[in-house]
Amino acid sequence: MDRRTTLKMLGGLAVAGPLGAGRAFAAAPKTMATVVKAAGIPWFNILNQGLEAAGKEFNITTTMVGPATVDPAQQVKLIDDLIAKKVDVIGLVPLDVKVTGQAVQRARDAGIVVITQEGANQDGKTWDLELISAKGYGEMQMKALAREMGEEGEYVIYVGTLTTPGHNAWADAAVAYQKAHFPKMKQAADRFPGADLIDESSRVTQQVLQAYPNVRGIMSMGSNGPIGAGNVIRQRRLEKKIALVGTTIPAQAQPLIMAGAIREGFLWSPKDAGYGMVAVARMALDGTPIKTGTEIPTLGRATVDEAQRVIEVDRVLTINKTTVGDLVKQGL
């Protein structure tokens, strides 16, 4: 074989390599680091499973980091560290979009793609991916709480922090729906932070029950809130007196659901959310147009607000005594 023929063959392989799996020369993997609300929370441990699975599928090396405490200023430090490391993509589940806004813009100015989740109003993002409608999710939870409270009485709402964008958007929608449809219900007090941590939500629940003895319902937007509140309700044998609903993970909530301490839970699969973030990152890196009707891998067809850079799919799961066992078997 002469030199010219050899070069032609190598050139053809080099061109073919990046086009798909099984080529002789594969493209170097991109890097994506996702900053979550806090390290060690079960929700984000499951989300990381999705990040890793999609990373293998889409040739992206993924990592996940989070602050030691629920602190948006620590998220900013993590983002700046990732900018210095020159990652290709930053994923972000923001605690406070105003605090993280400038850091996100610094990332974009450095040429980094930024994919958020629960960050529809995060300025500067490339895309935000939502597996629920904020309005629909809040209304769904209020309908459940109203049903369990007999559509009357006082209730309280827990959020992760008073600035967590997703939690507060869901809470706003829930309260608006209550005021429009359940006039005999009312908030005993403004919403309480602490729903991201079990110990904190337990402490808040103890304080609520002491300060507001007429409370008959609790709604938690953070996934650890129903666990902390449910533990208190079960310990005090208040299962029939206090209706508790909220975002939760089936494996964590199963004992409390079966005991009646949690009446009903809601979530989307955090694993799907992680997978979807990486899939959208790959599409952004490749310059793939995303518009309403675009198929997001594993998630289905999306509704897209191109002006606000928000991708939305409907993946809500309902968790109760009937469904929790099967959801746990699915790894949730």
H, E, C per residue of 120-173 = CCCCCCCEEEECCCHHHHHHHHHHHHHHHHCCCEEEEEEECCCCCHHHHHHHHH
Of the residues 236, 267, 298, the one at which a domain ends:
267
Report pLDDT for 26.
Answer: 62
Of the residues 239, 267, 295, the one at which a domain ends:
267
Residue 192 makes CB contacts below 8 A (sequence gap 6+) with 156, 157, 158, 159, 204, 208
The conformation of residue 263, written as its DSSP 8-state character, comes to -
SS3 content of the chain, % helix, strand, coil (to 5): 45, 20, 35
CB 288 within 8 Å of CB 279: no
For residue 148, count other CB atoms closer than 10 A to its CB.
17
Which residues of the chain fall short of a pLDDT of 50?
1-25
CATH assignment of the domain containing 46: 3.40.50.2300
Structural domain includes residue 110: yes
Structural domain includes residue 67: yes
Are residues 75 and 163 both part of a single domain?
Answer: no
Total count of domains within the chain: 2
CB 320 within 8 Å of CB 264: yes
Structural domain includes residue 297: yes
Are residues 241 and 289 both part of a single domain?
Answer: no
Are residues 180 and 251 both part of a single domain?
Answer: yes
The residues pairing with 30 across neighbouring beta strands, listed in sequence order, are: 60
Are residues 220 and 298 both part of a single domain?
Answer: no
Strand-strand pairing, 153-159 and 243-247: unpaired
Residue 225 makes CB contacts below 8 A (sequence gap 6+) with 158, 194, 195, 196, 201, 246, 247, 248
Are residues 175 and 295 both part of a single domain?
Answer: no
CB 129 within 8 Å of CB 115: yes
Are residues 234 and 115 both part of a single domain?
Answer: no
Are residues 117 and 143 both part of a single domain?
Answer: no
Strand-strand pairing, 303-305 and 113-117: unpaired
CA distances from 308 to 38, 83, 204, 331 (A): 26, 24, 35, 33
Structural domain includes residue 66: yes
Report pLDDT for 330.
Answer: 83
Are residues 154 and 31 both part of a single domain?
Answer: no
Strand-strand pairing, 243-247 and 264-267: parallel
Domain that holds residue 45: 3-131+270-313
Structural domain includes residue 207: yes
Amino acid present at 301 = R
Structural domain includes residue 319: no
Structural domain includes residue 332: no
The helix/strand count (H/E) of the chain reads as 11, 16
Structural domain includes residue 318: no
Packing angle of the helix pair 270-286, 42-58 (nearest 10 deg): 40
Are residues 148 and 58 both part of a single domain?
Answer: no
Are residues 215 and 192 both part of a single domain?
Answer: yes
Are residues 165 and 240 both part of a single domain?
Answer: yes
CB 127 within 8 Å of CB 89: no
> pTM score, two decimals?
0.81
Report pLDDT for 27.
Answer: 83
Are residues 150 and 118 both part of a single domain?
Answer: no
Report pLDDT for 325.
Answer: 96
